[in-house]
Structure 1
C-alpha cells in the first residue's frame, strides 16, 4: 500500500481537520480489520479443525497454539500493512534507571489493581441488570490448564507479542500526532482489543503506564518485563494458588475445630504454605498500590508530553477523532464484541 502524505498547514502550524480525520480514520480501519479478521479467521479455523482433526482441541498445547494463529498470523499482518501507510516516529532512547524501574512497576500494579476493582463493579452492575452471572474469560482460559502452559502462553508469549503490536507498532504510528495521542489512544485500543468488560479497564490502565514508559524511554524491554510480571501474577501465580487453596474445605476444618475445641494441626498443614504465599502476594500488591498511587500523583507535575511532527488542531479534538468512517467502523466492531461477551 502507498504511504499517505500529510502536510502541516503553514498558516496554523497544525494538520488540517481533513487530514486529521484521515489520519484517525486510517487507524480506525486498521483496528477494525484487526478485530474483524481475527474473529472471522478464528471461526473459520475452528470449523476446519472440528471437521478434520477435532482431537486438536483436546490437547492444551495445540489448542493454545491454534488460538494464536488467527491473531498473529492472519489479523496482525494485515493490521501492520494497513497502518504502515501512516508515518511512524520512534521514541527517543532514554535510561529508566533502577528507581524509575521500580516506580514503573508499582504504577503498573496500581493501575492493574484499580482497573480490576472497577471492572468488578461494572460486572456486578451488569449481572444485576441482566439477572445472570457473567463468566470471567481469564478464569475460563486458565482453569484446568497446567501452570507451565499458562507460563509459556500467558506470561511469556502474550507480553512479547502484544507489546510489539500495541507499543512498538501502534504507538510509533501515533507518535507523529504527539505523545499524548500515542499514549492515550494506544491504551484505549489495547483495552478494547481484550474484547470484554472484565479486562478492559485494567488493560487500559496498564496500557497507559506501559505506553508512557515506551514513549519516554524507547525501550520495549521495560514494557515487556512489566507486562510479563502482571500476567505472571494474574494469569499463572493466582490460578496456581487457587488450586492449592480449597477455601471451603479450610472453612470446614476451622468450623470443626471451633465446635469441638480441639486443634487439628495435621489437617491445617497443607494450607500453611499457600496461605503464606497468599499473604506475601497481598503485602506486595497493596504496598505497590500505595507507592504507585503516590508516584502517579507526583508524576502529574513532573512529566510533560511533547507534541508531534504532525500535531492535530486544538479545536474540535473529539470530533476529529471520532467523526470519521474508520473509527466509527472500529467502534461498531468493538460494541458488537463487547455485547457478545455479555450474552455468551
Structure 2
C-alpha cells in the first residue's frame, strides 16, 4: 500500500517462459502440504487410539488429551517432517526486508478485524445453509466452540495464540511465498490465502482465514519479515481465543444459554446484568474496530494503495493454470473435499 506498505522491488521479471518451472515450483510445495495434512490425520488417529490403550479410556475426558490431539500430531510430528521436506535455501527467493511503522501496524490490525467480520458473516451464513440442507451441524465448528468455551486459558494461549500462528505462517506464508513469488506476486498471494482458508476444512472459518491469509501474504512480500505476520496472526487469535472467549466464560455464557432454554432467563438477568454490560461493550468495541477496518480496506482498494509487481506476460497468461492445475494441487483439493464432506456429512 502506498504510504503504508510500499513496493520493495523484490521481484525481477524473468527473461524466458517460466510457466513450466512455475508449475513445478507450485506443485512441489502443494504436494508437500498435502502430505503434511495426511501425516496430521494419521498421527491424530494413532494418538486417539494409543493413549486410551496406554492410560485407559478416562483420558477421553481429560483436557490435556484434547489439546494434545492438536499439539503433538500437527506441531511436533507433521511440521518437522514438512520442514525437512521443504528443504533449506533451495529454490527460495530472499525477499528484501523492510520495517513496518507504528501506523502501518494499526492499519494492518484494523484491516484484520474488518476481514474477520466480513468473512465470519459470509462463512456463518453459508455454514448455516449447508447445515440445514444436510441436517448436520459442522462437526469442526461445534467441537471448536465447545473446546474454546470449556477450556483452560493456558492451553488456549499456548496452542491457538502462540503455536498455531507460528506454524501456520511458516507453512502458508514463508514456505509457499519464498518458492513461488518470483513467478508473480498476485498468484503467490492468492495461493497462500486460498490454501490457508481451505485447509481449515469448514465454511465457518474458511472465508475469513482466506482473507487474512492474503493480507498476511501481501505484508510478508512487502516487508520480507515473517515475524510481522506471526505477530498479527497471534493478535487475531489471542483476541478471539483469549479475549472474547475469556469474557464469554466470565459472563456465564453457558449459564445464560441454559436459562434461556429452560425459560428462566428473567430470573438470572438481574444477577448477570453487570457482566452482560461488559460483554456487550466488548462486542461493541470489536464491531467498531471491524467497521474501521472495512472502511480502510475499501479506501485502500479504491485509491489503489495495494501495490503488486506485475508478472511477465508469458507468466501472467498461464499463471493460474501453472499454479493450480497440477498433480500437487489435485492431491490437496482431494484432501480438502474429503475434509469438507466428512465435516458436514460424516462417513
**So what's the TM-score if we normalise by structure 2?**
0.83
Residues 77-88 of structure 1: pairs in structure 2 closer than 5 A: 77-84=80-87, 87-88=91-92
- Counterpart contact for 2:134–2:344, Cα < 8 Å: no
Whole-angstrom CA distance in 1 between matches of 2:210 and 2:221: 16
Q: 1:161 to 1:18 in 2, by over 3 A?
A: closer
The residue that corresponds to 2:108 in the other structure is 104
1:304 to 2:307 alignment: yes
Q: 1:82 to 1:181 in 2, by over 3 A?
A: farther
Offset at 1:284?
Answer: 2.1
Whole-angstrom CA distance in 2 between matches of 1:250 and 1:343: 29
- Counterpart contact for 1:108–1:210, Cα < 8 Å: no
The DSSP-based 3-state class of the residue aligned with 2:200 is coil
Q: 1:252-283 CA distances to partner (integer Å, 9 max, x unpaired)? A: 67746xxxxxxx9xx624430x2233233223
**So what's the TM-score if we normalise by structure 1?**
0.84
Larger deviation, residues 243-252 vs 321-330: 243-252
The residue that corresponds to 2:153 in the other structure is 147
The residue that corresponds to 1:214 in the other structure is 220
**Which consecutive unaligned segments of at least 5 residues does structure 1 have?**
1-7, 257-263
The DSSP-based 3-state class of the residue aligned with 2:316 is coil
Offset at 1:164?
Answer: 2.6
Larger deviation, residues 312-321 vs 330-339: 312-321
- Counterpart contact for 1:147–1:236, Cα < 8 Å: yes
The residue that corresponds to 2:235 in the other structure is 229
Offset at 1:109?
Answer: 0.6
- Counterpart contact for 2:187–2:320, Cα < 8 Å: no
Whole-angstrom CA distance in 1 between matches of 2:158 and 2:102: 27
The DSSP-based 3-state class of the residue aligned with 1:91 is coil
The residue that corresponds to 1:120 in the other structure is 124
Q: 1:21 to 1:84 in 2, by over 3 A?
A: same
Whole-angstrom CA distance in 2 between matches of 1:202 and 1:283: 19
The DSSP-based 3-state class of the residue aligned with 1:14 is coil
- Counterpart contact for 2:134–2:345, Cα < 8 Å: no
Please provide the CA RMSD for this pair.
2.7
The DSSP-based 3-state class of the residue aligned with 1:302 is coil
- Counterpart contact for 2:71–2:159, Cα < 8 Å: no
Whole-angstrom CA distance in 2 between matches of 1:140 and 1:182: 35
Offset at 1:111?
Answer: 0.6
1:286 to 2:292 alignment: no
The residue that corresponds to 2:256 in the other structure is 247
The DSSP-based 3-state class of the residue aligned with 2:214 is helix
Residues 195-214 of structure 1: pairs in structure 2 closer than 5 A: 195-214=201-220
Whole-angstrom CA distance in 2 between matches of 1:149 and 1:80: 24
The residue that corresponds to 1:259 in the other structure is none
Q: 1:218 to 1:276 in 2, by over 3 A?
A: farther
The residue that corresponds to 2:64 in the other structure is 61
- Counterpart contact for 1:172–1:182, Cα < 8 Å: no
Offset at 1:146?
Answer: 1.8
Q: 1:129-155 CA distances to partner (integer Å, 9 max, x unpaired)? A: 112333414203323212232122212
Flag as ranges the 4+ runs of structure 1 deviating above 4 A: 250-256
